[in-house]
Amino acid sequence: RNSKSKYVGLEHINPGEHSLKKFGYSDDVRSAKSKFYSGDILYGKLRPYLDKCILVDFEGMCSTDIIVVKTNNNASNTFLSYFLHADEFREYAAKTMTGVNHPRTSWRALSQFSIPLPPPTTQQKIASILSAVEQKIEAEENKKKALDELFKTLLNNLMTGRIRVNHLEV
């Protein structure tokens, strides 16, 4: 029994995000799966306009509706994972979809796209800048969630009289 093998399905990848927040286990899934390794990029080929693409830092199995992208020595996997979120690439991927009910792209179609690769040091710098901005955005989103929760708690406590206005400092 291999229940410890992590599984990534499209349902685990949030649109537009670069990292995975959740996953499942391969024993819980009956359908066909593909193997991936740490450092691979997982790209959702079903409805690619949904922008489901992540860089993984563990090995596991994934849905066959996900293309496992491996980089060569010329491309930084972090740079490439960010590039695959760019509007230009997403629009190209959407144009390559086939099927009506479950439109998909394919590796064959996507591999025709010419990705401009700057020198490796430039790729690393670009990826570092984007990563820093992304971390800042995530920190601000977490602050907003905490403030939203505080607001809801205060609203409830003030409206029910659990906290009196004269006992409150703003």
pLDDT tens, N- to C-terminus, the chain (170 residues): 445 799 999 999 999 988 888 999 988 888 878 999 999 999 999 999 999 999 999 999 999 999 999 998 889 999 999 999 999 999 999 999 999 889 999 999 999 999 999 999 999 999 999 999 999 999 999 999 999 999 999 999 999 988 877 766 66
Indicate the pTM of the whole model. 0.83
pLDDT at 56: 96
69, containing H or E segment: strand 66-69
Provide CB contacts within 8 A for 12, sequence distance 6+. 20, 21, 22, 23, 24
pLDDT of residue 2: 47
CA atoms within 13 A on the CB side of 53: 25
Q: Which residues contact 101 (CB under 8 A, 6 or more apart)?
A: none
Q: Which pLDDT score, from 0 to 100, does residue 3 have?
A: 53
